Structure 1
């Protein structure tokens, strides 16, 4: 049986917002070590194009490097195989604004700590930074950083930040992946599957014990 691996598009630095002229590295993290995956993107003015076809520089393996980004590089990025299979996609924004929000480009695991950073183009210090989720103010910081200590599905949403003198960032969607958490339903399923095996083991043990004593117990099942 053939097994197909779908790689994961990874963005370095791990964020979805960038200033003009920032550098970005995008790679297809393929555990099968296949070389048939390429980074592609869809922009408003460029359509769907693979790396090295007028944008980016393809390096060894399935990695694409953008040296100087421009707002026209904003768009949806993903990995695609020669057979047309696609990985996860990441929406990347290149902005001319003076403020960006640094947040994870990929979904974070439920229960993980998430660091949000409000960054100004001039790296100005001694400012007050405000953070917002879905348009609602959720906190302020003098360092420009805010931490969600244990992420849950309730933390999923559109985040942005602002400074008193530098304006505000665009919004970035924070996705929380709960697939690694154990739900009540999954726990019940494990119990339903495992209980018959446990009962069978106990019954066989009792039969073996009583046979050694010269009698066989009678079990009634309803």
Structure 2
């Protein structure tokens, strides 16, 4: 009985947890949502978390981690905004909570050059469409060459490249160049596999629940069957002896 109750508790906990959204911890938002910026551009970084005391931190090359509250940005409790970006603002940025949770870091690059590659600052999911734009300070539709891991992969007359169904093989370092204008810095395009559908997780949980709950009953049935069989076998010699004795008595 105790084993069965433990199995039922396990089953209920499994079903209840699979029916709710998994806690995601803390995440970071970047507005506008790209990884490269021109000098003097504006960027806002926000934290999304159920915990309190969120703050944005950064780590620039050769320096210790810095909090937005210490002057390099303006923090209003939700977003940290940098109104005038400089190349020295390039680095890793992330969100952190008072309990010590932190988001994945994003890499922001600021250039004093004339060309940037507008690529997603956060990871993209496999199967999604991803568009990369080769952008100049003055908006234009000039032809652009696109590179991945240092190799030319495409030339587009409008300065735009779209990957219609991104896969893990598309992950890598991308940059672009425009003849007579300049070349952008490199940025990493991160690709992730999609999470399993909730329905699939629930089905697996239910299957495990049935197995866990049903196993004790199945084992009990098998054990009782074996005990009954052994008792029947043990009783058979006595029954045969009684029958033989009855036949002898009739013959007498």
Q: TM-score, normalised by structure 1?
A: 0.76
Out of 136, 146, 152, the residue aligned to residue 120 of structure 1 is 136
- CA shift at 1:47, angstroms? 2.3
**Aligned Cα root-mean-square deviation (Å):** 2.7
Q: 2:41 touches 2:84 (CA, 8 Å); kept in 1?
A: yes
In structure 1, how many angstroms separate the alpha carbons of the residues matched to 2:195 and 2:130?
16
Q: TM-score, normalised by structure 2?
A: 0.68
Out of 46, 52, 63, the residue aligned to residue 35 of structure 1 is 52
Query: How do residues 24-173 of structure 1 correspond to structure 2 at under 5 angstroms?
Result: 24-30=43-49, 32=50, 34-44=51-61, 46-59=63-76, 61-125=77-141, 127-173=142-188
Residue 220 (structure 2) aligns with = none
Aligned residues: 188
Q: 1:134 touches 1:158 (CA, 8 Å); kept in 2?
A: yes
Q: 1:35 touches 1:62 (CA, 8 Å); kept in 2?
A: no
Q: Which has the higher helix share?
A: 2
Q: 1:129 touches 1:141 (CA, 8 Å); kept in 2?
A: yes
Deviating runs (4+, > 3 A) in structure 1? none
| Deviation sequence 1:160-212 (CA, Å, 0-9, x none) | 10001111111110011104268xxx99x95xx57x87xx9xxxxxxxxxxxx
Worse-matched range after superposition: 34-43 or 63-72:
34-43
Out of 192, 195, 202, the residue aligned to residue 177 of structure 1 is 192
Gap regions ≥5 residues in structure 2: 1-21, 215-252
In structure 1, how many angstroms separate the alpha carbons of the residues matched to 2:171 and 2:177?
19
In structure 1, how many angstroms separate the alpha carbons of the residues matched to 2:196 and 2:132?
23
- CA shift at 1:43, angstroms? 1.2
SS class of match (1:52): helix
Q: 2:26 touches 2:101 (CA, 8 Å); kept in 1?
A: no
Q: Which has the higher strand share?
A: 1
Gap regions ≥5 residues in structure 1: 201-222
In structure 1, how many angstroms separate the alpha carbons of the residues matched to 2:172 and 2:43?
24
